[in-house]
Amino acid sequence: GNGLYAHSLNRATGTFRSLKVEPSSSSSTGADRTRKATLVGEASFRPDRETVLSVTYPLRNEVVQSPATILGDDSLLLKYLNPHLCVVVTEATPEFLSKVEGDDNDVGEE
């Protein structure tokens, strides 16, 4: 199968991590069963510049359409959408936005 994936977001540090959760070993039983999480991806946001507004995932059993184009040599060009995709929506902080807008107003005033 595709496995089990989990994500963690630390808003204070601006770190978003994707983890693949591995099944427990077959020799483990009961309370001794542990799972191992392997880091498979990481993204960073600067909390002084961006605020995370939301994290969105596709619906659990949503059908993903993968359009294909037939090329001149009869091969296929597939456009694949990762079913484990996650969208993180951020917004510039008011402080950073005012700084950027202030820099734009200074252009040409030299």
Tally of domains in the chain: 1
pLDDT in tens, 29-73: 666 667 889 999 999 999 999 999 999 888 877 776 778 888 999
Q: How many CA atoms lie within 13 A of 36 on its CB side?
A: 6
Instruction: Specify if 110 maps to a domain.
Output: no
In a domain, 16, yes or no: yes
For residue 63, give the amino acid letter: V
Domain range enclosing 11: 4-26+34-105
pLDDT mean over 95-106: 81
DSSP letter assigned to residue 110: -
The pLDDT confidence band at residue 2, using thresholds 50, 70 and 90, is low
Dihedral pair phi/psi, residue 17, rounded to 5°: -120, 140
Q: pLDDT digit string (tens) for 76-86?
A: 888 776 766 78
Average per-residue pLDDT in the chain? 82
CA distance to 66, 83, 84, 86, 102, per residue, from 61 (Å): 15, 10, 12, 15, 46
CA-based end-to-end distance of the chain: 61
pTM above 0.85, yes or no: no
| Cβ atoms 96, 108 nearer than 8 A | no
Token pair 């700084």 is found at 99
